[in-house]
């Protein structure tokens, strides 16, 4: 995820973000949320993962509104939330 966000930052400096940058960040974050969710197949999903899924929805809403920087930021936050949920599982 960090590489995509770095590329998106460079793209912003060089000429602006595009929907493709935002969509890539969202899809990567969504994959991470799905992977984290698979660790809880038969149990109630932790609040952190519920929040991460809500943040993915926020990212898609920002993408639809052509607020690409906001979409990428929401995707980053969703990714961080899913990583946090996985770390809690390892404890």
Query: Does 84 score more than 90 pLDDT?
Result: no
Contact present, 25 and 1 (Cβ < 8 Å): yes
37 CB-contact burial (10 Å; exposed 0-12 / middle 13-18 / buried 19+): middle
User: How far apart are alpha carbons 39 and 84 in whole angstroms?
Assistant: 13
Entry pTM = 0.77
Note whether 82 and 26 are within 8 A (CB). Answer: no
Q: What is the model's pLDDT at position 52? A: 95
Which pLDDT tens digit goes with each residue over 41-80?
767 778 889 999 999 999 999 999 999 999 999 999 999 9
């Amino acid at each position: 995820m960090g590489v995509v966000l770095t590329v998106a930052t460079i793209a912003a400096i060089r000429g602006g973000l595009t929907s493709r940058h935002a969509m890539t960040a969202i899809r990567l974050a969504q994959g991470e949320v799905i992977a984290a969710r698979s660790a809880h197949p038969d149990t109630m999903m932790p609040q952190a993962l519920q929040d991460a899924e809500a943040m993915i929805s926020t990212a898609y809403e920002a993408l639809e509104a052509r607020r690409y920087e906001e979409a990428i930021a929401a995707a980053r936050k969703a990714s961080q939330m899913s990583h946090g949920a996985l770390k809690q599982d390892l404890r």
